[in-house]
Amino acid sequence: MKLSKLASLAVVLSTVIPFAASAQDEGEDSPLTWSVAAVSDYVWRGVSQSDEEPTVQAGLTWTAPVGVYVGVWGSGVDFGPGDPDMEVDYFVGYNTDLGESVNFDIMLNRYTYPGAASLNFNELIATATFVETYSLTAAYSDDFGGSDTDSLYVAGGASWGLPNDFSLDASVGRSMFDNAYSDDYTDWSLGVSRSWGLFSAALSYHGVDGTGRDVFGDLADDRVVLTLSLGN
């Protein structure tokens, strides 16, 4: 990633953190949530988005009492020479509890890549979480990666509590595309995480099936990712 892009993202982080932290201090029920993170590799659906290199990420979300929320999230990326060097996502969604054991979330996410607008696309993402442990997700786009291609991603996940405030997290997902764009492939992950107040750490293993490795090459190799984050 170009040094100037990293510097720009660092400036954004330095302004977001004090603002969000002061907003949280006003009360436990602050509508603002924020996070900043350093990752050893930005892996999305089993594939490295940062050319297998470390990067930084940050996000800020405002949630209304009725469950509607809006936010922005950014990360460094590296798809090869030239732009883009950053991904900036804008999203709006709605989150609600359906009874005592089911939570439902639906979100429209706009993926943008400064300097490479032809890659921008929208995705509608719906997630149902059961007994705060198991989740099912479906994500649809009619213009995946700016390719005018339909895509559907379905995934299941779980997070189990472990002794000493650790958690064990697992997921498996299937990416499906129009044949003209790419072959379908499966990804999975398994990791452990722990939080200490505003700070958290996670270590996760990511893999894809043989088809995914054929499509994405080294970017889809099995890998372990370390994430260190700060947020509320």
The three state secondary structure string of 57-104 is EEEEEEECCCCEEEEEEEEECCCCCCCCCEEEEEEEEEEEECCCCEEE
Q: Mean pLDDT across the stretch 10-34?
A: 61
What is the residue whose two structure tokens read 């439902």? 104
Instruction: Judge contact between 196 and 178, C-beta under 8 A.
Output: no
Q: Name the burial class of residue 46, with classes exposed (0-12), middle (13-18) and buried (19+) by CB atoms within 10 angstroms of its CB.
A: buried
pLDDT at 59 over 80: yes
- When divided into structural domains, the chain yields a total of 1
- In 3D space, the residue among 60, 70, 75, 76 whose CA is nearest the CA of residue 92 turns out to be 70
For residue 85, give its domain range. Answer: 3-231
Q: pTM of this prediction?
A: 0.89
pLDDT, position 15: 55
Instruction: Judge contact between 116 and 148, C-beta under 8 A.
Output: no
CATH number at 92 reads 2.40.160.40
Q: Mean pLDDT across the stretch 197-205?
A: 97
How sure is the predictor about 53, in pLDDT bands with cuts at 50, 70 and 90? very high
Better pLDDT: 183 or 18: 183
H or E element in which residue 230 lies: strand 223-231
Cis bond leading into 84, ω under 30°?
yes
